[in-house]
Structure 1
């Protein structure tokens, strides 16, 4: 792995690099006046042209038509929906409910609750490995009585295959399909848990240096590069995906909560709750800031859909201000 040469100058908020096309273009805004509070994670049904939004503040999951921008269905009765995963092959939606400590499965048309799989408090982010049919879900970790765990769910028979220990609460997870590994951000411990997908066991732990409170991450499978966004201080760390060695440390906006890598444009999109999307460009030898896009305070999560060349960002609703989804083109 070649060492990255780092450009440490972050472009001023709201601007992009002069003489270049903007890294993101706002195409439209989907307004959701019935939704209050913040969003957490999103999922997409590409065949059905729908996006699913975990409206945590609204205690619901909103099913939204991407063509009309209208809410097709609201899944209510949830405590604190966090992670979402859509199974296109079965037409089913998995929802991690942090308040109830369960993984809910919805299916049918309209979507209805099919099954709840018990986990523990603060069931959170999840990642699906399509090659194995396994779903990895982080939960627990608030105190000694509720240790951090990563549940391994067999999505074919809807059972928990394994439970992997974590030092504390697992935040975002990512799959490396080429090596059958799963990376899990363990924010309170400033470490990354590396899981062997073949054995469903932790193979190693990478300790971070220079920053902590690492919440989101993203992976460049071609170059074997792991991007890790930290909140304390606000930095983007670049790691060798084979060894965990730190290759770069760049500034970012505060409150990182979602992170995506675009393999086509070689861009990284860091969504920060302070109201910004930090964009970085990478190649084989370097990573540099490519611009900062203003969003809104509290707009901390979203979804990048590579096939659509689109980045969706959720903006919370409060009082008379409607919640919305910002739709950016990455072309």
Structure 2
């Protein structure tokens, strides 16, 4: 990946607020901008193919997915004629791209090598976040007014579903205990699912907190980070009981959060045009930096193998272009 600093018209100069540090020593430093040609509207989630140096970008408002060559720093190919793609995943086994579409509720499979369409699973409504259950060889997709679909990626078939009381947003799979933790903001709760039985085993509610959209697991069997929008706050939970261990204020309108195990940090990307960097210490959580991105840039993807955080910036008008902002983790 190139590490040339590029000016970005939407974001302007990148500003990093840190305690007692210069910009070069900030926990995140922008090193690249990857333009997305002819992309309008909201950009949603991303996925990566490490071996193939490819980034997949779900462009909800543009009904497309861009395939970005990370080596050249350019969008090389595009899947068009989708229906508001939201969630996306890449499966190295089979070289598959999985795209969940909001408008028609479809989950579509494509071969990454040539973008050939391989099949569709119809969920009926608002197919959203996608996660891969590597232990079970399954794909899980949140959808509709309250469901988590279980899909066999080999046969492209629906093999089960787990009912919820509202539309699921961010969720995580803990392979160590074979459970899924699901944000259900409509129900003001986190739902805990047993993936062996396919049943809801617990729900956790939090007084005075709402809008729980993004979620990250610090480590298998480790603490669970849930970011709320109202008020904007990252809360660290005991995954066995749901009890609050620690909390810290965050940026506004969060849509993604990731954990950097090497540095013991959380990265929270927010629609207010910032990314917060929060350090996890034995004595508690501490905000150590805030990086400026661009308004509406809510979604991101942290790739620990590359030490890079990718942030999706939508087009801001007729003169500004959609792009992927690339940040290097530091030190």
TM-score by length of 1: 0.91
Q: Is contact 2:86–2:102 with CA below 8 Å preserved after alignment?
A: yes
**Which residue of the partner structure matches residue 330 of structure 1?**
329
Within the alignment, does 1:172 sit opposite 2:170 as a pair?
A: yes
Task: State whether residues 34 and 75 of structure 2, in contact with CA within 8 Å, keep that contact through their aligned partners in structure 1.
Answer: no
- Distance of 2:223 and 2:283 partners within structure 1: 11
For residue 7 of structure 1, what is the aligned residue in structure 2? Answer: none
Q: 1:19-41: CA deviations, max 9, x gaps?
A: 48311111111112321122100
Partner SS state of residue 265, structure 1: coil
- 8 Å Cα contact 1:223-1:284 kept in structure 2: no
Q: C-alpha displacement at 1:157, in angstroms?
A: 2.7
Matches of 1:24 and 1:268 in 2, distance apart? 11
- Residue 138 of structure 1 aligns with which residue? 142
Match of 2:266?
A: 268
In the alignment of these two chains, the number of paired residues is 313
Is 1:53 aligned to residue 57 of structure 2? yes
Is the Cα–Cα contact under 8 Å of residues 178 and 221 in structure 1 kept in the other structure? no
Secondary structure of the structure 1 residue equivalent to 2:305: helix
Q: Where in structure 2 are the equivalents of 1:1-331 lying within 5 Å?
A: 14-19=16-21, 21-107=25-111, 109-141=113-145, 148-221=146-219, 224-317=222-315, 318-331=317-330
**Could you say what secondary structure the match of 1:170 adopts?**
coil
What residue ranges of structure 2 are gaps of 5+ in the alignment? Answer: 1-14
Aligned-pair CA distance for 1:174: 0.7
Question: Once the 2 structures are TM-superposed, how far is the Cα of residue 149 of structure 1 from its aligned partner?
Answer: 0.7
Deviation at 1:210, TM superposition (A): 2.8
In structure 1, how many angstroms separate the alpha carbons of the residues matched to 2:202 and 2:129?
20
Alignment partner of 1:138: what SS?
strand
Deviates more, 1:221-230 or 1:295-304: 221-230
CA deviations on 1:49-103 (whole Å, 9 max, x unpaired) are 1100001111101111112122221111111000001001110110001101110
The alpha-carbon deviation at position 315 of structure 1 amounts to 0.3
| 1:223 to partner: Cα distance | 6.6
Give per-residue Cα distances to partners, 1:148-176, cap 9 Å, x unaligned.
11101122332212111111000011111
Where structure 1 has 5 or more consecutive residues not aligned to the other structure, the ranges are 1-12, 142-147
Structure 2: distance between partners of 1:62 and 1:185: 27
CA distance in 2, matches of 1:32, 1:52: 12
Per-residue displacement from partner, 1:190-229 (whole Å, max 9, x unpaired)?
A: 1111111212222111112231110000011257211111
CA change 1:222–1:175 in 2 (3 A) is closer
For residues 263 and 200 of structure 1, the distance between their equivalents in structure 2, rounded to whole angstroms, comes to: 29
Local SS of the residue matching 1:15: strand
